[in-house]
Each structure stands twice: as C-alpha cells, then as structure tokens.
C-alpha cells in the first residue's frame, strides 16, 4: 500500500481454489471487500473473515470501484461481466470502475468484454495470475496485466494484497497471452518431472530422494519444487486430479489455437496436452504416499515414546 494511491473498495467474484485465498488477503489488508459466489459456504467463510456478501452480481457491480473475477472459463466470465444496463457486473457499474479478469480465458474474449464495458466508461483489464493456492494465501502470486496503465494504477493497491509481482504487458489481451504461454511451460515441465520420477523409481530411486535432486540443479523448476503441493491440490479441487488436468488442458488448448493463428509450432505442447491426466494422477498418488509415510512415521514415533 506504499504507492500513495487511495485504497479502493473491492468486489470479488469466484471464491474457488485460488479466489478464496486472494479474497482473504484483500480482507486482511484492510480493504472494504464484498464477495459473490454460487457456493454459499465459500461466501460464509469470507464473511466470517470480515468481508460482506453481495446479494447479486448486479448489486455488487454498482457499489465497488474495483471488481475482480476469478471463475473458470470464457462462458462464466461473460456471464459475470454481463450486459451494460441489463445484467451482471455491468448492469449498474459506475463510470471509472475497473474490472480485472483473473481467469485464464481467450484474449479475444477479454477484448470483446473491454469494448462492451467501454460503453459505460468502465475499464476491463485482463489480469491472470500464476502461482498456487498457497501462494495466493501468502500474497505471493505473479499477476500479468493487459490494458490501460492508469486503470492498473487505480487497482494496484488491491492487487498488491495478494501479488508479489505485477507486470503490465501491454493492451487488453496481453496478460492472457503471457499466462497462456506460461501455462504451456508449466504443462510441459509437469510431464517432464513425471517422467523423470517414473524412470528414477524404476531404477530404485525414490521420489523422496529424487525431488530434492531435481530442485537443486539444472533440472530445477517450479513444478519440481511444488510437485507434491500440486498433488495435494487435487484433494480439494473439483474433480480431483482429473479436474486439474481438465483445467490445464483448457489452457494448453488455447495455446494451440493461438499458436496456429500465429503460425508458430509448439509440438511439445500438443503432445503434453494428451498426457496431462497421467501427470496429475501421478503427482496426486505421490503426495498421498508421502502423506501416508509421514503418518506412519509419526505414529511409530509416538509409539516409541509411549513405550519409554
């Protein structure tokens, strides 16, 4: 909050795997936060933390200066943003409102919604983020922003509550382009780590030994350092490991479409898109095995103490 810009009032839509932690950071930063989600339990959790609950998307859009969206796909984002003077956030949004789309969606959809919002003097920024639920809860996300620089500055005090890095990349759609390219790298690396661990295990080297080795040298990556965290995320994610795979597959499919349009070949991305489910299932299984081993170790330690 050191930029000197007054803290805006904030509306947050989408209290799922990432959004919950982001919204809690906004509340903890002392911002006036109003939340909306179809999951009443998620709303109740944020209200308990200090947020207020919006009656509807329409009422939320008319009362907050910065509106943040963290839902799943193009269709959901369109429904949330709505239609000027009719539905969604744009039904009653005031001139000067900034809408940030944190969801990873097609850049063209962001441009389309930005044009729609401009009719009401509302600015849409695409602001997808990279990180995991733990990073969201700790305020360590990296946010990639496309759109008007002045609008970004108005929203920056809110973004700073959960982002360690905020990068302005250009016009609307630029943030999505960067995020989609970023997710191709993550997807390919996920598959690479999965195969390295499978080979090591077949040769008698456990993932307990191999993961620190990967993270300590030339094979280091965010995936290697967070392999089991990725697996743990599947526990609470809708659809489990398959749900995570479907989410990443959506992003890689966007990358393949945009690459085709740009005349760029990304063959490793194309192959990886077919192998994601296996990688997420392996990460989940490894996380569960590690958890079970910790439990057995803890139980055994307690048993020894009892005998003493």
Known catalytic residues?
179
State the chain's maximal CA–CA distance in angstroms: 75
Residues in the chain: 308
Distance CA 216, CA 150 (A): 41
| Cα–chain center distance at 4 | 27
Nearest-Å Rg of the Cα atoms of the chain is 21
Distance CA 145, CA 289 (A): 38
Residues 6+ apart with CB under 8 A from 169: 144, 145, 146, 175, 177, 178
Distance CA 37, CA 230 (A): 24
Asked whether the beta carbons of 92 and 58 are under 8 A apart, the reply is: yes
Alpha carbon separation from 28 to 5, 25, 32, 139 (Å, rounded): 18, 5, 10, 11
What the block records as the tokens of 128 is 């997808």
């Amino acid at each position: 909050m050191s930029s000197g810009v007054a803290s805006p009032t904030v509306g947050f839509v989408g209290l799922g795997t990432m959004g919950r932690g982001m919204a809690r950071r906004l509340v903890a930063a002392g911002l006036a936060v109003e939340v909306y989600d179809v999951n009443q339990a998620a709303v109740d959790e944020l209200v308990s933390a200090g947020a207020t609950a919006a009656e509807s998307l329409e009422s939320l859009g008319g009362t907050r200066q910065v509106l943040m969206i963290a839902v799943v796909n193009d269709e959901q984002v369109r429904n949330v943003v709505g239609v000027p003077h009719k539905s969604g956030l744009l039904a009653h949004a005031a001139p000067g409102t900034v809408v940030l789309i944190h969801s990873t969606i097609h850049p063209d959809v962001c441009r389309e919604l930005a044009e729609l919002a401009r009719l009401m003097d509302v600015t849409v920024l695409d602001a997808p983020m990279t990180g995991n639920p733990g990073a969201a809860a700790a305020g360590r996300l990296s946010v990639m922003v496309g759109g008007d620089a002045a609008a970004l500055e108005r929203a920056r005090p809110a973004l700073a509550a959960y982002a360690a890095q905020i990068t302005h990349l250009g016009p609307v759609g630029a943030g999505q382009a960067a995020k989609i390219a970023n997710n191709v790298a993550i997807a390919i690396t996920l598959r690479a780590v999965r195969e390295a661990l499978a080979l090591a295990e077949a040769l008698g080297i456990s993932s307990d030994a191999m993961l620190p080795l990967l993270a300590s040298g030339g094979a280091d990556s965010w995936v290697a350092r967070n392999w089991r965290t990725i697996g743990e995320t599947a526990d609470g994610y809708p659809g489990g490991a398959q749900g995570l795979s479907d989410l990443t597959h959506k992003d890689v499919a966007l990358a393949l479409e945009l690459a085709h349009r740009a005349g760029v070949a990304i063959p490793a991305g194309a192959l990886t898109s077919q192998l994601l489910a296996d990688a997420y299932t392996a990460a989940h299984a490894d996380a569960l095995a590690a958890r079970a081993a910790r439990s057995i170790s803890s139980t055994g330690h307690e048993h020894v103490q009892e005998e003493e």
